[in-house]
Amino acid sequence: MNRTYELMFIVRPDMTDEDLEKLISNLQAVVPTAGGTVKSVEKMGKRRLAYTVRRFHEGIYVLLVVEGGGAMIHELERRLRVSEPVIKFLTVRVDEEQKRLEKIKKIRDARKKVSAQPVTPAEGEVAAPAAETTATA
């Protein structure tokens, strides 16, 4: 039950701010009843669409990051599909991807620490072979 989803949807550009807020809070109300949590809401503003969607050339993008199960997403998508101002939506599951990214980050941080730690012994080691090579050469 700890799946993280990113739900991005586009709202028609002639929506007022308060209508948008109402819509978002409606959606947010679904989440706790289905046993999930809303991680973040981000209003990405009005953007020009790459192609015409329902005869609109612009749209207001909203990103909703939620955590929960599949049934919750089912309900959210149903609401989005039914609501009239929403013209497009996309749900992406991101918990696996985040896990992978964290793992990579951890490996990279660990590698950096190992290379950054032994400063003086490294100098000693570097000095010794240099001396040896100069002595022999």
Q: List contacts with another protein (CB under 8 A).
A: 8, 10, 49-51, 53, 59, 63, 88-90, 92, 97, 100-101, 104, 108
For residues 61 and 121, which CB has a smaller minimum distance to another protein in the complex? Answer: 61
15, burial (CB in 10 Å: exposed 0-12, middle 13-18, buried 19+) = middle
State the Cα–Cα distance between residues 130 and 119, nearest whole angstrom: 17
For residues 62 and 72, which CB has a smaller minimum distance to another protein in the complex? Answer: 62
For residues 101 and 127, which CB has a smaller minimum distance to another protein in the complex? Answer: 101
Q: In what order do the strands lie in the sheet with 86-93?
A: 37-53, 56-68, 3-11, 86-93
Least separation in angstroms between residue 90's CB and another protein is 4
